[in-house]
């Protein structure tokens, strides 16, 4: 089953009451035009959707593990149940358009053992363009029964990410200027993990925010050496856009591990090398 879903397919599931829908509209501080997050949700959301806060529902507080470290299993489980997530019911996550935040919800729930999680391709923009209705109701989800069991998807620790950069392909999902160390607007140190290959997530989608086709994604990643013949991993600033990269690789048929702490964790140890240029 594809990890993506179309607006028409999601509308049919909503109509039948057969889906849990998560609104994961999110931005880095200072990045956004307003409104986003809860404000955008109140202005209009997909019917039955509940708001999922990426910073608090899908991540632990910032600290030694990075800016968006994995939450503890019991913390994620409590948040998922509050949002109505159950094992027997599919989950669909969406954001504004390009799936950057929705992919983090997809990856996190999959990592903790949910088997049926998809992302609305094109986000709420695609839903609107399809002429589908929005709701301003403050939805209250019926508590779910999800039990979080970590480890269903592969992750990388810092040493494993370094080894993968040398022996396989480690994709850096950040913008080129951050990869080269020319501009670092978020983290206190600029640069990249030595040996990493730049693959900005913007290249995974078209101008409408929808993912490229699987053949197009296969060609994109093959040109970067990630053709499935060697191990592949991805990282970004804090493990959000790298989840988008893992989703795009999944669409391309290339399994990949996620360095969840990513650059914000890498730089917590001054002995770890930094490459620029």
- Annotated active-site positions, please? 236
> Is the distance from CB of 244 to CB of 173 less than 8 angstroms?
yes
> Is the distance from CB of 10 to CB of 120 less than 8 angstroms?
yes
What 3 state SS string does 224-249 have? CCCCCCCCEEEECCCCCHHHHHHHHH
End-to-end CA distance of the chain: 40
Cβ-proximal residues to 34 (8 Å cutoff; 6+ apart), any chain: none
Closest CA to 51 of 1, 93, 113: 93
């Amino acid at each position: 089953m594809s990890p993506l879903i179309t607006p028409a397919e999601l509308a049919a599931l909503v109509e039948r009451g057969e889906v849990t829908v998560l609104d994961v509209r999110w931005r880095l501080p200072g990045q956004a035009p307003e409104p986003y997050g809860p404000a955008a949700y109140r202005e209009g959301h997909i019917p039955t959707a509940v708001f999922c806060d990426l910073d608090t529902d899908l991540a632990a507080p910032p600290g030694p593990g990075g800016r968006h470290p994995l939450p503890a299993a019991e913390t994620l489980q409590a948040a998922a149940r509050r949002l109505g997530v159950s094992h027997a019911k599919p989950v669909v996550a969406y954001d504004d358009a390009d799936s950057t935040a929705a992919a983090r919800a997809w990856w996190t729930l999959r990592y903790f053992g949910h088997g049926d999680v998809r992302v609305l391709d094109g986000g709420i923009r695609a839903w609107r363009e399809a002429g589908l209705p929005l709701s301003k109701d403050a939805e209250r989800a019926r508590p779910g029964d999800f039990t979080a069991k970590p480890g269903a998807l592969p992750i990388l620790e810092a040493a494993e990410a370094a080894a993968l950069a040398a022996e396989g392909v480690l994709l850096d999902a950040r913008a080129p200027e951050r990869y080269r160390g020319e501009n670092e607007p978020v983290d206190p140190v600029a640069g990249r993990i030595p040996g990493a290959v730049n693959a900005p997530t913007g290249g995974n989608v078209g101008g409408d925010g929808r993912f490229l086709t699987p053949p197009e994604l296969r060609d994109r990643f093959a040109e970067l050496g990630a053709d499935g013949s060697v191990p592949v991993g991805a990282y970004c600033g804090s493990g959000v856009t790298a989840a988008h990269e893992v989703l795009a690789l999944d669409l391309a048929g290339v399994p990949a591990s996620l360095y969840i702490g990513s650059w914000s964790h890498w730089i917590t140890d001054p002995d770890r090398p930094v490459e620029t240029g």
